[in-house]
Amino acid sequence: MRIDRVKIDRFSLLASLTDGDILESTQCAAEPLYPIPVIHPNPYNLKISQLRALVTVADCGNFSKAALALELSQSTVSHAIATLEEELGAPLLARGRHGAIPTIVGQQVIDQARQVLSLLEDIVQGAKAARGLQGGQVRIAAFRSVATHILPAVIAEFRRCFPDITVAITELDDLVEQSLLDGQVDIGFTNLPAGEKFETLEILTDDYLVLMPPDSTWEGMQLTWKQLATYPLIIPTSGNCGTRIRNFLKPAEVPINIAYEVREDSTMLGMTLQGLGATILPRLAVEPLLTGIKVGRLPVPLVRVIGAAMLADALHPPAVFAFWDLLKGLNQANLKPAA
């Protein structure tokens, strides 16, 4: 049978061939009315983010709620689903005014995607268990300003990643390094540089401020030595902070009147608020600032470098290394003092 050049669909073409007729390509060209693309999905092109987006849309019922749940833009979620449908060659969701409803194929893919995501979670939990991160404790020592303004954000992030590990905090003024040497704590927040026996990480740089009584007219200014000398000074009694401030004042151009030596930062600030003098403290130690106290800058900048330390050659448990690794990923931008 000879077939002229006519448009035939693929079913008619198959029927003619099964009758034993020979279709001579030089005399016939079959042009399907509805070309059907041949899809060969590659499973290795599928992305976990696409499967997660699909499952979340199915759970939420629409793209906007899914985007909020995933903390992504709606366009990002839509693109992930569209790319997945293109790769699989089948519509997975029926979009409409009432949301997104899984198609028959889509429901099958969603069920299998849930299994994949569950297996991924099992992999993570298995790895944590193997590293001993399903329990344990991290013992931390820090001075008050770090314990107040820095540690809460760090611990919150750590507990989010490792909810089964407990964190114990000890507030110390000047014995952080000794507590590490004595084995009383695992990680200490201290002033850098630290001793040679410690591995350290720089956390942030904290500048010292001049805190003046409410009647001061030098707010926001960089004071001269002569202006600073007009105030009776209130400084820390001892410790690293007190020693640093005393050494800083030694080369002053004029004699500085150290009128009071006080242990607690809060007491120093209260005395300043009452007009008994001015004080010099790190910024981290005075936040949030008491209403009425005026802030100025020192004649010469003074800073302290705050870091984390742990014994370099000690055999630490996995939980301690997990906390240390978290600290490595942090920087000054996401360690802003808590309000």
Q: pLDDT digit string (tens) for 109-149?
A: 999 999 999 999 988 887 776 666 778 899 999 988 999 99
pLDDT tens digits along 271-293: 999 999 999 999 999 988 889 99
Classified as helix, coil or strand, 261 is strand
Spatial distance between the Cα atoms of 229 and 258, rounded to a whole number of angstroms: 9
Question: Can you give the pLDDT at residue 131?
Answer: 67
N-terminal to C-terminal alpha carbon distance within the chain: 88
CATH number of 205-304: 3.40.190.10
Helices 48-60 and 74-88: crossing angle, nearest 10°?
A: 110
Tell me if 141 sits within 8 A of 179, measured CB to CB. yes
3 state DSSP class of 205: strand
Domain residue spans in the chain? 1-36, 43-130, 137-203+309-334, 205-304
Domain 43-130 has CATH 1.10.10.10: yes
What's the fold here for domain 137-203+309-334? D-Maltodextrin-Binding Protein; domain 2 (3.40.190)
**How many Cα atoms sit within 13 Å of 206 on the Cβ side?**
25
Same fold, 137-203+309-334 and 205-304: yes
Percentages helix, strand, coil for the chain (3-state, rounded to 5) are 40, 20, 40
- Using alpha carbons, select from 36, 43, 27 the residue that is nearest to residue 9: 36
- At 331 the pLDDT is 57
